[in-house]
Structure 1
């Protein structure tokens, strides 16, 4: 089954008693444009997102028929958890993590990032008290600006154009 767009999120999607089939994804797979995976029930799924910035989130609905709904399940992973004690610590941690171009997440007054031992040790050396926990990395802090265009320019990326040229036609 090929999926080209999200249909919504379970929070607002009417499931009408249909079975929910979870598609388990690692946190870093939620930003992939092309991905081949299996749902919890074993259905083969191919994600093929041609649009820019298609970020999948927990409980996004990818497919629905009369009997079943395929829904994103973001898996828990080993994470560094920081609970900064002051605004200075927030700024310092965000600067240091951003300077390394590491993904940063925010949840329940905590900064979260995927576990890496050198980063953990560096945060300890900087005076933080990082914790290691299994967490779902659900709320990324988007620290980069998405590609932008100017008036009159085509908003389609070079990558999207290549995908459309190589995709089989539905004619």
Structure 2
């Protein structure tokens, strides 16, 4: 089966009458445009996307849909370092160190945590700098990846809020 377009996300449709077949993908493969995948039921999929979604494939993206069956992307869980900066100095230090190591950074809106794929050098830096962290087993979904490369924003402007929320806007 050849797939050229993402048909939406399973979270946005009624699935009570559908058989769900999952294609398991690691978080670091979600930005691939071309891949040969196999579903849990053995369906071989040749994915050649005409246009890759902006941040990559998301958990629950639909590759195939008919009246009885849906084939969806299921991002595999992985070990992550989950960090909750307590102040702006910690946030700045953490972002600097993560950027220096070229590690992708994810933001969990539900728990207000910054998450990065587990890397021992990052854990050592957190321990050395006194940044609280927890090692967790969870899914790193592309829609939660922090990405500052946008054609509309040449220099992002960060605004501080009392709840450590990050808001990006175009610089005046």
TM-score by length of 1: 0.78
**1:89-132, CA deviations, whole angstroms, 9 ceiling, x for partnerless residues?**
12221122123221000112111111111121112111112221
CA distance in 2: counterparts of 1:130 and 1:6, whole angstroms:
35
How far 1:45 moved relative to its partner?
1.2
Match of 1:49 in 2: 49
Q: How many residues align?
A: 148
Rounded to whole Å, the distance in 2 between the matches of 1:125 and 1:143 is 27
Equivalent in the alignment of 1:38? 38
Q: Which runs of 5+ in 2 are unaligned?
A: 154-172
- The whole-number CA distance in structure 2 between the counterparts of 1:41 and 1:136 is 22
Measure, in 2, the Cα distance between the counterparts of 1:4 and 1:66.
19
Partner SS for 1:106? strand
Q: Distance in 2 between matches of 1:19 and 1:43?
A: 13
Q: Does 1:136 align with 2:143?
A: no
1:15-26 superposed matches below 5 A: 15=15, 17-26=17-26
SS of the residue aligned with 2:5?
Answer: coil
**What is the TM-score when the length of structure 2 is the normalising length?**
0.78
Query: Match of 1:156?
Result: none
Q: Does residue 1:6 correspond to 2:29, yes or no?
A: no
Give the superposed CA RMSD.
2.0
Runs of 4+ in structure 1 off by over 4 angstroms are: none
